[in-house]
Amino acid sequence: MKKALIVWGGWEGHQPKEVAEIFRGQLEQEGFHVEVSDTLEAFADGEKLKGLDLIVPAWTMGRIEQAWVNNVSAAVQSGVGIAGCHGGMCDAFRENTDWQFMTGGQWIAHPGNDGVEYDVNIKCSSSPLVEGIKDFTVKTEQYYLHVDPAVEVLATTRFPLAEGPHSLNKSVDMPVIWTKRWGLGRVYYNSLGHQANIMEIPVVKELMRRGFNWCAEGKSLAPSNQAQGAYTGMQDNQL
């Protein structure tokens, strides 16, 4: 049985407890054994983290011990997946650039605040994570992020829609969903999820379900000579 850890907390405006419960239900339906924690001390045992298949952060803002970030990073490098949404993963610890490097981006603005109606445009891709998914419209916060150019973008949204100092720039397609690799681990992020009701939208829920499973499957596919330890720094063509 695959094992997942959900860690929730931080700013309550994102309803982290409620989002964590949605994620718990999804993962249990997929056959995971799920542990849920409301303290960052859940990241203190590095060896325990390496025994997981999936880590799901749902923690907005706040501060984290560097040693705990190192533990999560080492676990992901060894093959454990990490997947999350909205500010719970990519606005978790604003001062910690190591966390941002691992997860692939950092929130910087949501012009128009909550209630912006916008399209999520699925990118043509061979990825099974978006196979059969059509473009859809949501009404929620539209995240503007600083994004790692190494990510594989699976969905985007067009800016600008709301007025602001950014609106005189040319239109840009901002990533909404992406994947990346961190060592031997898989990373999945979806910028939707300002509050729990957004994560209950069927298409959003399905996208997260696929992301969770994809990340968790990575550990079993990691090279056997690397899966027991952290990534050694070899390039992809050396694995």
Instruction: Give residue-wise pLDDT tens across range 149-208.
Output: 999 999 999 999 998 999 999 999 999 999 999 999 999 999 999 999 999 999 999 999
Asked, for residue 138, whether it belongs to a domain, the answer is: no
Mean pLDDT for 205-230 is: 80
Residue ranges making up the domain that contains 230: 3-106+177-238
pTM above 0.85, yes or no: yes
Does residue 87 lie in a domain region? Answer: yes
**In angstroms, what CA-CA distances link 20 with 7, 136, 158, 179, 235?**
8, 24, 28, 21, 35
| 123 lies in some domain | no
Confirm whether 227 is domain-assigned: yes
Half-sphere exposure of 136 (CA within 13 A, CB side): 17
172 lies in some domain = no
- Bigger pLDDT: 238 or 100? 100
**pLDDT tens digits, one per residue of 28-82:** 999 999 999 999 999 999 999 999 999 999 999 999 999 999 999 999 999 999 9
Query: Does some domain include residue 8?
Result: yes
CATH number at residue 78: 3.40.50.880
- Residue 236 — pLDDT band, cuts 50, 70, 90? very low
Each residue's pLDDT tens digit, 117-159: 999 999 987 789 999 999 999 999 999 999 999 999 999 999 9
For residue 225, what pLDDT band results from cuts at 50, 70 and 90?
very low
Those residues with Cβ within 8 angstroms of residue 166's Cβ, 6 or more apart along the chain or in another chain: 109, 111, 144, 159, 160
pLDDT at 124: 80
- Counted domains in the chain: 1
| Predicted pLDDT of residue 147 | 98
Indicate whether 54 belongs to any domain.
yes
Residue 227 has pLDDT above 60, yes or no: no
CA distance linking residue 78 with residue 81, whole number of Å: 9
Whether 123 and 156 have beta carbons less than 8 Å apart is answered as yes
Answer whether residue 92 shows pLDDT above 90.
Answer: yes
Three-class SS state of 59: strand
pLDDT at 127: 86
Per-residue pLDDT at 228 exceeds 90: no
Asked if residue 34 belongs to a domain, the reply is: yes
